Amino acid sequence: MKHHADLAEVFNKDEERVDWHDETLWWVRQKRDKASHQIPDWEELRETASQIKLNVLSDLANYLEQFEKQAIANGVTVHWAADAKEHNQIVHAILQEHGITQMVKSKSMLTEECHLNHYLEEQGIGVIDSDLGERIVQLANEPPSHIVLPCIHKKKEEIGEIFHEHLGSKKGEDDPQILTETARTHLRSTFLTRKAALTGVNFAVAETGEFVVCTNEGNADMGAHLADVHIASMGIEKLIPQRKHLGVFLRLLTRSATGQPITTYSSHFKKPRPGQQMHLILVDNGRSIQLGREDFRNSLKCIRCGACMNTCPVYRRSGGHSYHTAVAGPIGSILAPNLDMKQYADLPFASTLCGSCSNVCPVKIDIHDQLYKWRQVIIKEGYGDKKKTLAMQAMAFTLSNPSAYRIAGKAGRVVMKYAPFAVNNSLNPWYKQRDMPKPPKQSFGEWYSEHRK
Amino acid sequence: MTSRDKILADVRKSQPPVSSLPDMQVWENKGQANANVIDTFKMVAANVGGKVIIINKLDEVRGHLNFIPGSRVLTTIPALFDVAGNAADYTDAMPHELENVELAILPAEFGVAENSALWVTETQMGTRVLPFICQHLALVVNAADIVPDMHAAYLRTQGTDNGFAAFIAGPSKTADIEQSLVLGAHGPRSLIVFVVTP
C-alpha cells in the first residue's frame, strides 16, 4: 500500500529540487498574501463565503432540484452519477451516441478523482488534456501534482525533453515562451478537430441553471465553443444559491490561488449554442456521506483554490505525488479518507497541524482541526499504523510505571553514551536529517534527589 | 431507484439543519462608496497584461488599430464595419471558420475596476468562440460603465438572460512552466481595452 512518508522520502532524495519546489510554492503563497491585503474586508469576505457555502450544504437537495429544473429549461441535459463508475459510463455513453472516439478536456479535478481518462482509454477513446500543465503531465504519463499548478514539480528542462519527444520541439529547448508556443500550435489543432469537449465546473448557480468555468488559458472555451457536444462534470457541492453570490467567490478564488485579481476568463455557460448539445453531470461519489459526517462536512465548502497546498510546510517539501490521491495537500488529506479510509489512512498524519492551511482557506474550512479529528477516527477504526500503535502502547506503559520509566531512562543514557551506533543508524527514524543529542549524565530525578537537601 | 433519487435521498438524510444566507446588500453598498474606478481599472488591466487606451469617441478606435494589411478582422460594432467584417454573420456558421481571425473588436457591456474584467455577452461576441480564437482582441467599454467591484458587476447583470457570457481580463496566459508568465496560451496574445470617455 502507498504511504505518504515513503513517497515523500523518494521526493526528498533530490534536496536541491525540494528547496526549489518549496520556494516556488512559497512565492505563490506570498502573491496570495499581497492580493488578499488589497481587499480591506478580506476576512469578512471569507466569512461571507463560508456562510453561503454552509447554507448550500444545509439545503443542498432543494438547490440541486432547483438547479436541475433551471438547467433543463435552458436546454441542458442533466445526468446524475452516484459514483465515479457511473460518471465515466455516462460520459462514454454520450460519446458513443455521437460516434465520437476523441475528446478534448479542460481542467477537472473531478475527472481525475474518477480516473476518467484511464476508463475512456480502455474503451478505445482518446482524451487530450488541454490545460498546458495538465498536457505536460499527461505526456509524461503522470497525474497532476497540484490542483491549480499541475506540473509545479517539473523543471523546464524536463518539459523541453517531453515536448521534444512528443511534440517535435528542438532538442534542448527550454524557453517557456517557445515551449508554450509549441503547445499552442499543437492544442489549437486539437481544439479544431475534436467534436466533444469536457470541462469542469467551478460554480453552478441554482437560481439560473448556469455554470461558471474559470481558466487563464482560454482552453475550456476553445474546447467547448468548437465542439458539437459539451460535457460539464461537477461535484454536487459546487452549487451556489444565486448569481449575486458569484461575486464573493470570484473575488476570493484566484486571489487565494495565485494572487491574481481574477482569472483571464470566467465563462458563464447557460444554454447550448444553436446546434450544440450541452450535458451536465452531477456527481456524488461519496459527497453525500461526507455531508453526513458532522466533523468533516465543512470540507465540502472547498472551491479548489490550492492555497492550503501552497502554504503547507509538508506539501511544499514532499510534493503533490506523495499524497497518492487526485487532490493532494491538506484539503486532499481530509477529503480522501472519506472515499477510502484504509487506502488513505496515512494522509491525515502527513501534517504538522500548524494550522496555516485553515488561515489561508478562502471559505474558512477548519482543515487542521479536521486532520486531527481524522487521525482519531482512523485509529479507532483500526486503520492506524501498527508500528506506531505498538510504540504508543509501550510508551504509555513506561510513562505510567515509575520503575519502568527509570530503567528505560537509564538504559537510554547508557546506550547513547557507550553504544551510540545503536541509535545513530538508519533504523532509527529520528536519526534522519538530525544528530541524536548528547546524553545527559543523570536524569532530572537523580539530580533532584541529589540537590534537594 | 434512479441515481438521481438516491443522491437526493442521501443528501436529505445527511444535510444539517438549514442555516441562513448572509446579507449581500452590505457588500453591494460597499462598492458604491469606491470612487476613482477608471484609475484603478487602468492600473489593474496593465498588471494582468492588458493595454488601456482612453478615447473620446468610438471613431478613434481606428487610429489605434495595428494589424497586418489583408489579415482578417471581425467586429460587432456597426461603426467599424468599414475596417472589419461583421462577426454576427458567423453566428450560425461553423465556429471553425474563425480559426484565422487576426483581430476581433468587440463591445463590452461593462468593466470591473478591481480586476479589470469586462463582461462580454454572446450577442456582443457575434459568435461564442470569437474572443477566444482570435490572435488579438480589442474590447470597447464606456467609461460610465466601469463599476467598482464584482458585487456591483453582478448587480448589473440582474435580470439579463444570456446563453453565454464571460468576464475577460487580459490576454490568454499561462504560467505552467516554472511559473514563468507567458501571454498567448491558446487564445488572444494581446488585449487592448478602449475606454470611451466623452
Q: Convert the pLDDT of each residue in B135-172 to its tens digit.
A: 999 999 999 999 999 999 999 999 999 999 999 999 99
Report chain B residues whose CB lies below 8 A from the CB of A47. Answer: 22
Topology, domain A43-285: Rossmann fold (3.40.50)
Of A322, A320, A325, A318, the residue nearest A340 (C-alpha): A325
Instruction: Give residue limits of the domains in chain A.
Output: 1-38+310-356+367-384, 43-285, 387-451
- Please tell me the predicted confidence (pLDDT) of residue A418: 82
Closest CA of chain B from A379, distance in Å: 24
Asked if A281 contacts A113 with a C-beta cutoff of 8 angstroms, the reply is: no
Query: In chain B, what are the domains?
Result: 36-196 (3.40.50.10420)
Contacts of A152 in chain B (CB under 8 A): 179
| pLDDT at B69 exceeding the cut of 90 | no
pLDDT classification of A452: cutoffs 50, 70, 90:
confident
- Distance in angstroms (rounded) separating the CA atoms of residues B39 and B116: 11
| B168: chain A residues, CB-CB within 8 Å | 264-265
Residue B34 confidence (pLDDT): 61
Q: What is the pLDDT of residue A317?
A: 97
Min Cα–Cα distance to chain A from B22, Å: 6
Distance between B160 CA and the closest CA of chain A, angstroms? 11
Grade residue B33 by pLDDT with cuts at 50, 70 and 90.
low
pLDDT at residue number A385: 83
Mean pLDDT within A311-324: 97
Name the residue among A334, A394, A336, A321 with its Cα closest to residue A361: A334
The mean pLDDT of B175-194, rounded to a whole number, is 95
Residues of B with Cβ-Cβ distance to A139 under 8 angstroms = none
Specify the pLDDT at position A323. 97
Minimum mean pLDDT among A223-232, A403-412, B118-127: which range?
A403-412
pLDDT category, A417, cuts 50, 70, 90? confident
Answer whether residue A422 shows pLDDT above 80.
no
Contact status of A277 with chain B (Cβ, < 8 Å): no
Helix (H, G, I), strand (E, B) or coil at A106: coil
Nearest-by-Cβ selection for A273 from B48, B128, B185: B128
- pLDDT reading at A9 higher than 90: yes
Nearest CA in chain B to A282: B4
Beta bridge partners, B119, equal B110, B167
Q: Which residue from A110, A108, A163, A111 is spatially nearest to A131, judged by alpha carbons? A: A108
Least Cα distance to A203 among A252, A158, A238, A166 occurs for A238
Alpha-carbon gap: A151 to the closest alpha carbon of chain B (Å): 7
pLDDT greater than 80 at residue A169: yes
Q: Are B96 and A193 in contact (CB under 8 A)?
A: no
Give the span between the Cα atoms of A245 and A249, in whole angstroms: 7
Q: Which helix (H) or strand (E) holds A263?
A: none
The mean pLDDT of A169-193, rounded to a whole number, is 95
Beta-carbon separation of A184 and B177 below 8 A:
no
pLDDT at residue B21 in the model: 97
Please report residues of A whose CB lies closer than 8 A to that of B30: 41
Query: Looking at beta carbons, which residues of chain A come within 8 Å of B122?
Result: 273
Report the pLDDT value the prediction gives residue B57, as an integer from 0 to 100. 94
Residues 6+ apart with CB under 8 A from A447: none
ipTM, two decimals: 0.97
Whole-number mean pLDDT of chain B? Answer: 94
State the pLDDT at residue B55. Answer: 97
Cell for A343? 487506502
Put simply, the answer to whether A27 touches B185 (Cβ < 8 Å) is: no
Residues of B with CB below 8 A from A56's CB?
Answer: none
Q: How far apart are CA A295 and CA A447, in angstroms?
A: 46
Q: What residue in A sits closest to B167 (Cα-Cα)? A: A266
In percent, how much of chain A has pLDDT > 90?
85
Among chain A residues, CA nearest to B11: A288
DSSP string, A375-416: HHHHHHTT-S-HHHHHHHHHHHHHHT-HHHHHHHHHHHHHHH
pLDDT for the residue numbered A275: 92
Q: How many CB pairs lie under 8 A apart between chains A and B?
A: 242
What is the average pLDDT score of chain A?
95
Quick check: A247 contacting B, CB < 8 Å? Answer: yes
Q: Which of B112, B117, B186 sits opposite A219 (nearest CB)?
A: B186
Q: Do B162 and A86 touch (CB under 8 A)?
A: no
The beta-carbon neighbor of B169 closest among A60, A226, A262 is A262
How close, in Å, is residue A384 to chain B by CA atoms?
Answer: 27
Residue numbers of A between 81 and 120 with CB closer than 8 Å to B: 81-82, 86
State how far residue B75 is from chain A, nearest Cα, in angstroms. Answer: 18
Residue A204 has pLDDT above 80, yes or no: yes
Shortest distance between the Cα of B127 and any Cα of chain A, in A, equals 9
CB B37 within 8 A of CB B157: no
What's the pLDDT at A391? 85
Instruction: Give Cβ neighbours of residue A154 (< 8 Å, ≥ 6 apart).
Output: A136, A137, A140
Q: Which of residues 13-72 of A touch B (CB under 8 A)?
A: 24, 27-28, 41, 45, 47-48, 51-52, 54-55, 57-61, 64-65
B174 contacts A132? CB cut-off 8 A: yes
Whether residue B32 has pLDDT greater than 70: no
Q: Which residues of B touch A51 (CB under 8 A)?
A: 19, 21-22
Any idea which residue has 482582441 for its cell?
A: B137
Question: Looking at chain B, how many residues does it have?
Answer: 198
pLDDT tens for A73-110 read 999 999 999 999 999 999 999 999 999 999 999 999 99
Cβ-based contacts of B31 with chain A (< 8 Å): none
Per-residue pLDDT averaged across A98-126, rounded?
97
User: What b-and-e string marks burial along A14-35, b requiring 16 or more CB atoms within 10 Å of the CB?
Assistant: eeeebeebbebbeebbebbeeb
| Chain A residue whose CA is closest to B191 | A264
User: Which residue in A379, A296, A303, A279 sits closest to A333, CA to CA?
Assistant: A296
C-beta atoms of A244 and B154 within 8 A: yes
User: What are the cell numbers at A136?
Assistant: 505536460
Which positions in chain A touch B161 (Cβ < 8 Å)?
270
